[in-house]
């Protein structure tokens, strides 16, 4: 089974965000970039499926030259090959999804694995878009996965529970936290990954379908009424919740 794992490089959650000079993107100076946390689950899932069914794991990312770092992590974890789709500016999800779908049309994987979401834009758009472009089924937020021949059964986390889903290969899935615990790459593998070749491709030539006109930092409109822990303080907070905020 040939598996394509799609990953992204994102700012570390604890990084302070400021708006860049263009007013529509972040100021990247001093920002620490990491492998999107959910993509660790996706890489591990790809490797486990290869372990069970044989085949190859290819990892792809769309981003600037520096995004090769996350591909090196995937290679160190055990991915066979890696592909960078070069995108110096941050393209919209349609361009990203098109680039992945075009690569998949050429390389014909049996399974495409994503992380549940990327924590930069949290858009939840790419996996179903890629699936629709390819005419494939997809199962989102997968917390349990079994593949038998071409039959895929999975549990998908939804509000209030889980859906038990079935589909057939080729198929797209997105990995939820808890599907498989990601392995830590070993030092010799990290060293070896540094010299492995990374295939480079051009971005899809499709035009973006959305445009960002402004980025801003949210203004806090919170009341910030902070009190101590005396009985009078607690009763006052309850009174405010009832009479001022009217939430109880």
Partner 1 sequence: MSILVVLEPSGDGLKRTSYEAITAAVSCAAGAPVQGIIFDATESQVSSASIYGLSSCMIVHGPEWNQLQSSFIASAVAEAATSIDVTTVIFAANAYGKSIAPRVAVRLSAGLITDCVELQNNAGTLAAVRPVYSGKARVSVHSVTAKTVVTLRPNVFTAKQTVATSLSTSAFTPSIASDVRTASVTGHIINEGTLDVSEADIIVSGGRGLKGPEHFHLVENLAKSLGAAVGASRAVVDAGWRPHREQVGQTGKTVSPTMYVACGISGAVQHLAGMSTSKIIVAVNKDKDAPIFTVADYGIVGDVFEVLPKLATAISTVTGK
Q: Provide, rounded to whole angstroms, the least separation between the CB of residue 45 and partner 1.
A: 16
- 116-149 burial, b at 16+ Cβ within 10 Å, e below that, comes to bbbbbeeeebbbbbbbebbebbbbbbbbebebee
Whole-angstrom distance, CA of residue 1 vs CA of residue 131: 18
Nearer to partner 1 by Cβ, of 199 and 210: the residue is 210
Q: Provide, rounded to whole angstroms, the least separation between the CB of residue 188 and partner 1.
A: 29
CB within 8 A of 90, min separation 6: which ones?
25
Nearer to partner 1 by Cβ, of 190 and 215: the residue is 215
Structure tokens at 207: 């035009």
Q: Are 126 and 36 in contact (CB under 8 A)?
A: no
Q: Provide, rounded to whole angstroms, the least separation between the CB of residue 60 and partner 1.
A: 18
Q: Provide, rounded to whole angstroms, the least separation between the CB of residue 81 and partner 1.
A: 27
Phi, psi (rounded to 5 degrees) for 150? -105, 5
- Mutual angle of helices 37-53 and 68-77, in 10-degree steps: 40
Q: Provide, rounded to whole angstroms, the least separation between the CB of residue 202 and partner 1.
A: 21
Nearer to partner 1 by Cβ, of 46 and 127: the residue is 127
Q: Provide, rounded to whole angstroms, the least separation between the CB of residue 239 and partner 1.
A: 9
Nearer to partner 1 by Cβ, of 187 and 223: the residue is 223
CA angle 176, 144, 189 (to 5 degrees): 65
Nearer to partner 1 by Cβ, of 158 and 191: the residue is 158
Whole-angstrom distance, CA of residue 57 vs CA of residue 236: 59
Nearer to partner 1 by Cβ, of 187 and 226: the residue is 226
Q: Give the length of the chain.
A: 248
């Amino acid at each position: 089974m040939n598996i394509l794992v799609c990953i992204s490089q994102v700012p570390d959650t604890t990084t302070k965000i400021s708006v860049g000079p263009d007013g529509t993107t972040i100021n990247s100076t001093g920002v620490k970039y990491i492998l999107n946390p959910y993509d660790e689950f996706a890489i591990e899932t790809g490797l486990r499926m290869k372990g069970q069914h044989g085949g190859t794991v290819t990892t792809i990312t769309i981003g600037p030259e520096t995004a090769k770092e996350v591909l090196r992590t995937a290679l160190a974890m055990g991915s066979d090959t890696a592909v960078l789709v070069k995108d110096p500016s941050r393209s919209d999800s349609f361009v990203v999804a098109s680039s992945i779908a075009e690569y998949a049309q050429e390389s014909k994987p049996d399974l495409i694995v994503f992380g549940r979401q990327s924590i930069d834009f949290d858009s939840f758009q790419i996996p179903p878009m890629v699936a629709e472009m390819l005419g494939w089924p997809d199962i989102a937020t997968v917390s349990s996965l079994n593949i038998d021949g071409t039959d895929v059964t999975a549990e998908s986390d939804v509000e209030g529970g889980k859906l038990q889903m079935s589909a057939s290969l080729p198929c797209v899935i997105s990995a939820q936290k808890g599907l498989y615990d990601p392995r830590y790459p070993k030092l010799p593998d990290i060293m070896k990954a540094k010299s492995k070749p990374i295939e480079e491709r051009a971005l899809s030539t499709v035009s973006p379908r959305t445009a960002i006109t402004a980025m801003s930092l949210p203004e806090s409109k919170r009341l910030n009424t902070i009190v101590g822990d005396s009985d009078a303080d607690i009763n006052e907070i309850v009174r405010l919740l009832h009479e001022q905020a009217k939430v109880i």
